[in-house]
Chains A and B, each alone.
Chain A
Amino acid sequence: MKKRNYNLIFGIIITAFVVVLLLIGIFWTPYNPDTMNVKLRLTGPSAEHLLGCDNFGRDIFSRVLKGGVSTLWISVATVLFGLVCGIIVGAFTGYYGGVLDEVVMRLNDVLNSFPSILLSLVFVSLLGPGKKNVVIALGLLFIPSFARITRSEFSRIKSLDYVKCAKLEGVPPLRIMFVHILPNAVNTLLSTTAIGFNNAVLAEASLSFLGIGVQPPDPSLGRMLAESQTYLFSAPWYTLSAGGMIILLILGFGLLSDGLGDIE
């Protein structure tokens, strides 16, 4: 009997829910997320304000949606940046091996040996805060993990008969790498990408929490968490909604990547 892939099922459900929510958030939010209203300061959840209001009287639900959207964009851009660069680095090192492989992989090890949050702090303080710089800083940090996976897949696949066949047929190396080998590495890369996406969400939230990510007045999940600390006991819904959104994002993609990894 075939075991059902619950990870994949729940992963898809949660991710679909979050993505639909955020897609709505791109075009429409119940209130303007930046409109302040002193009368509603720190009011709890109600029919008008589903998740209550924050310390400036802004609608938390609207801000969670907007913040989630910006986290999503940053994470997607970060992962894409890391994935594309990582695939290129990994393809060349894995396919050619030798000295190039040794040098690049040792550089990779150096990057990996620093705590990633520390490195991203360094990068962002060099580049200055802001969405674009966060993407560049985090993207750079994501290259090693993707490069490593791509490299191991390429060096495994390059010794298979069909690649030897392609060499004998006179297929040029670049074509062998990206047309013959890459499609065979996609499965592994797919589940790594989902994990990478999770890490990107977390890293972006941490940078914003520390105040060097998304800058005010743009809403951000990480900064909402930081601001809500003060009101943890007087207005717990504030912390819970921002944290809940992060959890949903990560849980969905985590289950999804597990599920994808279980296929076959």
Chain B
Amino acid sequence: MSEPVVKVENLNVWYGKPQIIGRDKRVHILHDVSFEIKRGEILGLVGESGCGKSTLARAILGIETGKTGTIIHNTFRPQMVFQNPYGSLNPYKKIGWIIEEPLRVQRKYDSKERKRRVLELLGQVGLPESYMNRYPDELSGGQRQRVAIAAALIQQPELIILDEPVSALDVTVQAQILRLLIDIKKQYNLSYLFISHDLNVVYQICDRIMVMKKGEIVESGDIETVYNHPQHPYTLQLLTE
């Protein structure tokens, strides 16, 4: 078995600044979270809103400051796809510009090669090449999410964090995007951390699942095992809802 892409050990996250004098006013968001994401696997993370799912995502991305514990990355710069496709694309920039931006700031390749890669990725996420010169306003939610996926892919990451990537979309579009995500994963041998509150979607796409309640992981394991034989009452509650 190959080494995990990300290994998290005893991760604690607090919000607020530590007080030097007086009572500690920080809010404890994540309690001793430990898990790992294997290469080529889709790990689902479920739990009600406000339980710390997005905080965990931000901690892995390295943009959460008040944390203790260890996060071992065996990957270069994980990428993220956000929940709301209407907010994650800059409205004043063309699609091609948005996808190309990471390469441009890293001064990788010349402009011809960058353009070639953008076009290739547009094809891969199922958008016609003419979309290069369109603005996000002209695209539907599903199409925008495809663009966001392309923008995450262009840096050739090994891990992509998907923060409720389909919850803002129609059911039919949801299925298309999930299909696309699975195809892309196979092609590039990617790993996903798939955050969701929709257990049906998680069942369709994930290999393993973690259930989070109030900042703690209460249950984790194989998707079939957890769905068929839930151990924790909270998991049972989520499944029967």
Residues in A lying within 8 Å of B, measured CB to CB: 160-162, 164-172, 175, 180, 183-184
Residues B58-91 near A (CB distance < 8 A): 61, 63, 77, 79-80, 82, 84, 87-91
| 11 pairs, A vs B, C-beta closer than 8 Å | A161-B84, A164-B63, A165-B82, A165-B148, A165-B151, A167-B63, A168-B77, A169-B155, A170-B105, A172-B105, A175-B105
Chain B residue, CB-CB nearest to A187: B92
Contact of A184 among B63, B84, B91, B155 (CB under 8 A): B91
A122–B186 Cα distance when bound, in Å, is 71
Taking the complex as formed, is B240 at the interface, i.e. its CB lies under 8 A from any CB of chain A? no
Complex CA distance for A180 and B91, rounded to whole angstroms: 10
9 A-B pairs with the lowest CB-CB distances in the bound complex, closest first: A183-B92, A161-B88, A161-B87, A169-B102, A162-B90, A161-B82, A171-B105, A162-B88, A184-B92
B101 on the interface (CB 8 Å rule)? yes
- Residues A164 and B77 in contact in the complex (CB < 8 Å), given A172-B105, A180-B90: no
Asked if A165 and B91 make an inter-chain contact with CB atoms under 8 angstroms apart, the answer reads no
B residues near A (Cβ < 8 Å) are 61, 63, 77, 79-80, 82, 84, 87-93, 101-102, 105-106, 148, 151, 155
Q: Give bound CA distance, A160 to B83, whole Å.
A: 12
B residues less than 8 Å from A160 (CB atoms):
87
Residues of A within 8 A of B88 (CB): 161-162, 165
Inter-chain contact A171/B92, CB cutoff 8 Å: no
CB distance from A109 to the nearest CB of B (A): 25
Main secondary structure of the interface of B (DSSP, over half): loop
Q: Is the CB of A170 within 8 A of B102?
A: yes
A170 in contact with B106 given A164-B82, A165-B151 (CB within 8 Å)? yes
B79, B80, B84, B105: residue with the most chain A Cβ atoms closer than 10 Å: B105
Q: How far is the CA of A10 from the CA of B80 in the complex (A)?
A: 48
Given contacts A161-B82, A168-B61, are A184 and B105 in contact (CB under 8 A)?
A: no
Interface centre among B61, B84, B90, B93 (most CB of A within 10 A): B90
| 12 further contact pairs, Cβ within 8 A, besides A161-B88, A183-B93 | A161-B87, A162-B88, A164-B82, A165-B82, A168-B77, A169-B102, A169-B105, A169-B151, A169-B155, A180-B93, A184-B90, A184-B92
Bound together, the chains give a CA A123 to CA B90 distance in angstroms of 42
A170–B101 CA distance with the chains assembled, in angstroms: 10
Set B80, B92, B105, B106: member contacting A165, Cβ < 8 A: B80
Judge whether A169 and B101 touch: CB under 8 Å. Answer: yes
Residue of B nearest to A168 (CB): B80
Contacts of B148 in A (CB 8 A): 165
A161 / chain B contacts, CB cutoff of 8 Å: 82, 84, 87-88
Instruction: State whether B101 touches A171 (Cβ < 8 A).
Output: yes
What A residues does B90 contact at CB under 8 A?
Answer: 162, 166, 180, 183-184
Q: Check A170 against B77 for contact (C-beta < 8 Å).
A: yes
Determine the distance from Cα of A184 to Cα of B106 in the docked complex, in whole angstroms: 23
Q: How far is the CA of A161 from the CA of B93 in the complex (A)?
A: 14
State A69–B187 Cα separation when bound (angstroms).
66
- A152 CB, min distance to chain B CBs, angstroms: 18
What's the Cα separation between A168 and B148 when bound, in Å? 13
B77: A residues at CB distance < 8 A: 168, 170
